[in-house]
Structure 1
Amino acid sequence: MNQLHAILPEIETPLLKAIRNEILSEGPMPVSRYMGLCLGHPRHGYYVTRDPLGAEGDFTTAPEISQMFGELLGLWAVAMWQQMGAPSAFRLVELGPGRGTLMADALRAARLLPAFISAAQVHMVETSPVLRKAQRRALKNCGVEVSWHDRMEDLPDGPAIVLANEFFDALPVDQYVHTADGWHEKRVGLDADGMLVFGLDAAPSPLAAAFSAHLPPPAEGAVLERMDAGPARALSSRLVAQGGAALIIDYGHGGGYGDTLQALHNHSFVSPLANPGMVDLTAHVDFALLARIGAATGLSPYGLLGQGEFLIRLGLGQRTQALMKGKSEAEQMAIAAAATRLAGTEREHMGKLFKVLALVHPSLGAPPAFDSSERIPA
């Protein structure tokens, strides 16, 4: 394995010991394996051992910034349910639901239409025991039956509306680097001192050549990422067979080359190889891949919209003004600042970096907030 660079971990974490032992036993591991262990190891994984959200965590998501985000997604779900013919029973699903804030806000807004609440059966797909406890607290008095599942495949049958905010960015990715003799898989190994190190497989990878067939010819040194496509295929297959729609919001791109693997700790970027199990690892979502999977399965993909444009179409401006009524000047400024952070276009805002993709059953037409012209061709 050709080494790229080594990182000295700040501390000897329990997960680092387990990773080192696996590498010594089985050889350098794919980036996806390393990422999966860091996030989901049953004893030492990042999401298994902590609540990563908020000022005391490592990052903040849109639902934690303002109640308006979840409320507007709740109204989107109501409009989507009506477009589905208002079925008397359906599954309202959230993938990777954080603290449950988004769902709690969405259900509160959706109470404007009692028939929606009566028909909804809420299902949360969450593997973290710490976050499940937070979700139970948030939804304790939501007035709707709530169930939890480890996997999407465990969801009960029936039409579904699926919300996925910052879910796909946490899925493990494989990485490949283009050299003079083709694509080589990037792996995590050990250097002579036992430190974690990125390196390249000596033999070219035929898989990467297939993954990049739809892209322009790569330059030497180009990095190709391939996220775990299993959840997207499971989601698409379910919606095609049983009806419904999915709304996917995440930071990402429309396809291409680039190394987007990143690690966050205390709201700052750190090395992905430092302190495994104690920092958040993510990669930018390949929305083009999600759209291709949806279209190949039989769904109609719509997008990509920037998060800001999407929220504005749903009525963010009007909701901001309504929340400001009767508030103090300081409270009004805080509400306006939250709306700007959600929808603004500056680098520190989420309005352009975060993208929105809708996958809908082909019988339903364009989903709420999307135009028919925004359907992504297969």
Structure 2
Amino acid sequence: MKTFNTLFIMESSSPPLATMRRAITEKDDGKPQLVDIPMPRLGPDQVHIKPVAMGLNPSDFKMGTAFPRPGAVIGQDMAGTIIAAGENAPFTPGDLVWGGASGCISSNPEYGSFSTHVCAPALLVRRLDPQIDPVEASTLSTALATSALAFWTPDALDLTPITPENPSKDPFKVLVYGGSTASGTIAIQLLRLCGLDPIATCSPHNFDLVRSYGASAIFDYADPATPAAIKAHTGGQLKHVLDCISDAHSVETCFSAMARVGGRYVSLEVVPEELLARRRAVRACFVSAYGIAGDAMDLPGAYGMEADPSKREMGKWAFDMFERLVNTRKIRTHPVERLEGGLAAIIPGLAKLQSGSVSGKKLVAIM
């Protein structure tokens, strides 16, 4: 890891920033483009980061398609080196960090990780042990933010006061539908650290992968017998579900597997009301990693959010804890598929992700 340390020393003594940067931004139709844009302004609660790696997420193409914001920088996940910090940001130039930049959809169109110089809220950035590969750490932010919102907000699974640092004495089962996704493997690990018993669905070719992250039982998502098998495995008492896929099939499977008395179901996409109406006893909630900062989002329907200081407070607490868990190696990152070529690799990478051909891997662009 000596090469990483050398890089950080060089960055901390780098010359003043240029006036322009390269970035992936949205066109008028929301599709990505590689362009030159002005260097971002540095606010008091912001940091500027020179990324060494940037993780790709499905939301990076989905949000632009659904809610175009021409000119907004795309991307959420990254890891790299602090090159400047606002007066309220607890960082120093040269710090190695990982974090999220809330690209595409945040109130600040300059945010977004797909850039040669990233502007990000300090709230979502944390230090990384130099012995940990930043390429792997660039996969973390969105998945961790998703789990935080799913586990510790009152409308979601509401596991409070259970946390990895205050584990449960009652290891009840929690289903993670889509356990081989990046959000799924992180959720499974956090549930295990919380003292709970994660079970999961995925494709059979990913069973070993999902088992290695801590799932105690795994079911074929496509098998028509899976809902009954989960119900038998849980004794008809499954009351907590995180659905990382959130389509009609996953909703049907999850609802059919849950206890007769209902429970709590969290989706990562907005589920149509006609599907939710099948089980009124189930308390359903949609969460988006974009909401972890508690900022208002002016979007239609359930995707819109009012400002919520309690989410911001929870996000800070959760990311402080995640920093400790990551740096003490208590969380394993999702398997990585490296995309060489820096920013130029991102647009074809998003197309590959959109094609549905990526399974059990997180695409990461290497600068």
Same fold? TM cut 0.5: no
| Between structures 1 and 2, the one with greater helix share | 1
For the pair shown, which has the larger CA radius of gyration, 1 or 2?
A: 1
TM-score normalised per structure 1: 0.33
Higher relative contact order (CA 8 A, sep 6+): 1
TM-score by length of 2: 0.34
